[in-house]
Amino acid sequence: MSASFTAEELFQWIEEGRDYVYLDVRGEEDHARFSIEGPSEITLLNIPYYDFMEDPEGAVAQLDPSSTYRTICAKQGSAMFVAEVLGEAGFEDVRWLEGGMTGWGQVLIPKRISTPEGYELWQFNRPGKASCSYGLVHEGQMMVFDPSRNADFYTSFAEAHGVRITHLFETHLQADYVSGGASLAAATGATYHAHDGDFASSTLSYTSVVDGATVSFEGGRGPGVLCTHAPGHTPGSTVYLIDERYMVSGDTVFIVSVGRPDLGKKVVEWAKQLYATLKERICTLPDALMVLPGHYTDWGTEATEDHLIMNDFGTIKALNESIYGLDREEDFIAYIVDNMRDQPEVYNTIRQVNAGLLSPAAEELDTMDLGKNECAASHMAA
């Protein structure tokens, strides 16, 4: 029986730059659609598991016995099967991914952001989605921003750190992943903050975000969270300014690009809103503000040396001169329209799930919640 590894170990190995060869044994289509990636370059091969059934010798002959292989599939059965085949062929230390790509898609990696004393700020990176949620901790309480579906992660994190989750914030109604907000609110009793612009037609019980209001920890001490309505990516998009130093920017400001305003099929109307938001509400913020985005596209350009997805707003404006340099609304709309592309069909279903209008079975949720985000207005920095 060959040994396995977890999705957390997989991330750690990629981060450490371990000299492994990752062998994806899913079909070529699945591999092309969604695969593993992380902070450093990896060697990744794709040989479908059925090749190891039809022509085991031919499939094995494509591999180098002196390399160390880590096999990956959709769930785990096929990766285990191929690991066994390789083991029988004399390959040493072959291991397979527990829970497969489904598990990889859900894993969250906590990293602490350096802050002034008195509070802790955590980035929870979800490498399988290229998305980030955040935790703000102060005196035994934690606020969580944009929790993803893996609610157990957040409750376990809170328990391990001896804190209780008291507030949950949505930056917007997510289209690309299933939110954990409502289930975490039910599990913890935390106040669930969301903007009417996105959530008014939902069936969820939430507290309406008020533009310009500050949410504080119990006792009134610690960093405040200033809610700022930032429509454009969605009508209810909100950014949260923490301690006047950090901005949880959701899908409004990314390190590279801005959140695409075409997902609601009202591209011109929403692009106008986004232009006004950027000019009047975002560009007036200080350059030193650290931006903590909801998504990223590329580790190489968007991560710090410590593998945090963040940067200061001044640097972000310089990185995205082709967007922030546009001084006429019509030029901005033209930029958005030029960079438009289709959105995955599943996004509409995910929006309905996140508004409480649909409750699919767990396995169906697993499937729709998988795959990298498509939320940026453009792919390249300029």
CB of 27 vs another protein, minimal distance in Å: 4
Closest among 205, 177, 203, 201 to 193, alpha carbons compared: 205
Q: Measured from the CB atom, is 4 or 40 closer to another protein?
A: 4
Residue 69 within binding range of another protein, rule CB under 8 A:
no
Q: With 0-12 CB in 10 A as exposed, 13-18 as middle and 19+ as buried, what is 362?
A: exposed
CB of 53 vs another protein, minimal distance in Å: 5
- The residue from 3, 53, 288, 357 that contacts another protein (CB under 8 A) is 53
> CA dist 377 to 61, 195, 233, 259, 332, Å?
43, 22, 9, 5, 11
Q: Report yes or no: 291 and 311 within 8 Å, Cβ to Cβ.
A: yes
CB of 48 vs another protein, minimal distance in Å: 7
Residue 32 within binding range of another protein, rule CB under 8 A:
no
Residue 78 within binding range of another protein, rule CB under 8 A:
yes
Total residues in contact with another protein, by rule CB under 8 A: 18
DSSP string, 67-100: SEEEEE-SSSHHHHHHHHHHHHTT--S-EEETTH
Q: Which of the ranges 70-78, 242-250, 273-281, 286-294 carries the binding residues for another protein, by CB under 8 A?
A: 70-78
CB of 45 vs another protein, minimal distance in Å: 16
Q: Which of the ranges 50-58, 104-112, 144-152, 209-217 carries the binding residues for another protein, by CB under 8 A?
A: 50-58
N-term to C-term CA, the chain:
50
Residue 46 within binding range of another protein, rule CB under 8 A:
no
Residues 181, 195: Cα–Cα separation, whole Å: 13
Q: Measured from the CB atom, is 35 or 179 closer to another protein?
A: 35
151-160 vs 181-188: helix axis angle to the nearest 10? Answer: 40
CB of 278 vs another protein, minimal distance in Å: 41
- The residue from 8, 9, 37, 51 that contacts another protein (CB under 8 A) is 51
Residue 74 within binding range of another protein, rule CB under 8 A:
yes
Closest among 294, 280, 291, 281 to 320, alpha carbons compared: 291
Residue 56 within binding range of another protein, rule CB under 8 A:
no
**Whether residue 73 lies in the annotated active site:** yes
Residue 197 within binding range of another protein, rule CB under 8 A:
no
CB of 76 vs another protein, minimal distance in Å: 9
Q: Which of the ranges 7-15, 73-81, 88-96, 159-167 carries the binding residues for another protein, by CB under 8 A?
A: 73-81
Can you list the positions of beta strands (E) in the chain?
A: 3-5, 20-24, 43-46, 68-72, 95-97, 109-113, 120-126, 131-138, 141-145, 164-169, 191-194, 207-208, 214-215, 225-229, 238-242, 246-250, 290-293, 311-312
- Spatial neighbors of 56 by CB under 8 A, at least 6 apart, are 85, 89
Q: Measured from the CB atom, is 276 or 365 closer to another protein?
A: 365
- Residues with catalytic function: 73
Q: Which residues bind another protein (CB under 8 A)?
A: 27-30, 48-51, 53-54, 73-75, 77-78, 81, 363, 367
